[in-house]
């Protein structure tokens, strides 16, 4: 890595952690196919807490968990244990009991009916099964407020037992599909999802500090959560935590990890499924995962923030053609950052962002712990960070 690139990336981190509208702390890294070529940290783990943010800080990585669950699903497919187009209830029977929400009657009770077709694991991977999130969907929010539907952050079985928002395969909607995909993996393997990850993904990649529960060493380096207030100020949330002993290992959002550990996972994709201590996926599986799996009528649009404390309205590269793979966003056109068409990426609720560019052989991860999602400072900082990488590569 040249001093010019390092200076450019350091400057982005310094800028976002200083001045008005700052983020409390950030860790960001870039990797080639072989190794990290940039590791940076700036700011504090918890605003006013005194501990500096360091590259080995631990984050709740939220929906960047999904791609790891996707890899675990694809391993089952490779071994002939899972048919992506078979009813998902074949593997996780409870999903077969869920009905479609058609609205609410005059008394406010949900109006439900059986779905017109079965949910498949492919639909779960594509987010076309009919599930949503209460912070992106008004009907789910109403179920939570008026009928006690538990939040997914409770990591409970009850949180998964939501009605469908539409008939399976009708359209794309982002939600709890990958939590259900994790349940499919658990039933096939006969083990908790965290154990499957450790044995089949983390071990061959040399990942030791990632899991659904925090070890004492990880907890000691945990970055704290913060709330962005309407005036742009920040309020530390030192008591925020996902369940210490989750009832369900939530394949959609439940992992804690360091950024450095996630970079090992990104390198696996850059190396056609290979890790330093064994193969995770076959090259042909990686190629298939990076291709669009959506149908022409299934369009990806803006994520509307219906719980302002959790998410702003969010749209990745507005106006660009986008699709979905197993399990991440695909930009079908070159992005304003310089990311080429066909690269993939996604995000986590607390303003964490990553991308994987197999064509160029580079990937990156940007981690903060701020709510709501779509934080202007963190998201803009991430885009500036990615843009600096591609400017350097083009230069």
Quote the crossing angle between the two packed helices 259-270 and 66-78, to the nearest 10°: 40
Question: In 148-200, which ranges are continuous DSSP H helix?
Answer: 157-160, 177-189, 193-197
Which residue matches tokens 């064994």?
A: 278
CA angle 129, 130, 131 (to 5 degrees): 105
Helix, strand, coil percentages in the chain from 3-state DSSP, rounded to 5:
35, 20, 45
- Distance in angstroms (rounded) separating the CA atoms of residues 197 and 192: 9
Show which residues are catalytic.
63, 66, 174
Q: Which of 211, 205, 192 is nearest to 258 (CA)?
A: 211
Name the token pair of 296. Answer: 């022409």
Residues 187 and 91 sit within 8 Å (Cβ to Cβ): yes
3-state secondary structure at position 282: coil
**Distance in Å from the first CA to the final CA of the chain:** 13
Residue 158 tokens read as: 């009850």
């Amino acid at each position: 890595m040249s001093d010019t690139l390092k200076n450019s990336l350091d400057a982005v981190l310094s800028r976002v952690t200083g001045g008005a509208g700052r983020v409390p702390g950030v860790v960001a890294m870039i990797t080639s196919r072989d190794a990290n070529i940039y590791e940076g940290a700036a700011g504090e783990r918890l605003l006013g807490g005194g501990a500096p943010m360091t590259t080995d800080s631990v984050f709740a990585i939220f929906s960047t968990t999904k791609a790891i669950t996707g890899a675990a699903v694809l391993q089952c497919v490779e071994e002939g244990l899972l048919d992506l187009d078979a009813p998902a209830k074949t593997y996780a029977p409870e999903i077969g009991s869920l009905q479609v929400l058609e609205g609410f009657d005059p008394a406010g009770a949900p109006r439900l009916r059986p779905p017109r077709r079965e949910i498949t694991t492919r639909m779960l991977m594509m987010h076309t099964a009919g599930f949503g999130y209460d912070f992106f969907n008004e009907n789910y929010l109403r179920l939570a407020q008026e009928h006690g539907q538990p939040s997914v952050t409770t990591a409970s079985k009850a949180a998964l037992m939501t009605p469908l928002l539409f008939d399976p395969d009708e359209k794309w909607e982002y939600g709890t599909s990958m939590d259900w995909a994790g349940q499919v993996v658990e039933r096939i393997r006969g083990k908790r999802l965290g154990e499957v990850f450790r044995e089949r993904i983390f071990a061959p990649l040399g990942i030791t500090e990632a899991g659904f529960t925090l070890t004492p060493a990880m907890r000691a380096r945990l970055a704290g959560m913060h709330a962005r207030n309407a005036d742009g100020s920040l309020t530390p949330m030192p008591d925020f935590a996902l369940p210490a002993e989750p009832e369900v290992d939530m394949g959609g959002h439940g992992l804690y990890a360091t950024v450095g550990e996630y970079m090992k996972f990104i390198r696996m994709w850059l190396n056609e499924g290979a890790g330093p201590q064994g193969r995770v996926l076959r090259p042909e599986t990686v190629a298939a995962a990076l291709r669009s799996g959506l149908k022409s009528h299934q369009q990806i649009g803006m994520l509307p923030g219906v719980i302002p404390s959790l998410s702003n309205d969010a749209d990745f590269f507005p106006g660009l053609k986008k699709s979905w793979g197993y399990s991440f966003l695909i930009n079908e056109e070159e992005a304003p950052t310089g990311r080429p068409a066909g690269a993939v990426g996604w995000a986590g609720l607390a303003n964490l962002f990553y991308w994987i560019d197999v064509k160029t052989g580079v990937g990156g991860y940007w981690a903060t712990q701020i709510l709501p999602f779509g934080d202007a400072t963190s998201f803009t900082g991430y885009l500036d960070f990615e843009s600096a990488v591609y400017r350097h590569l083009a230069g």
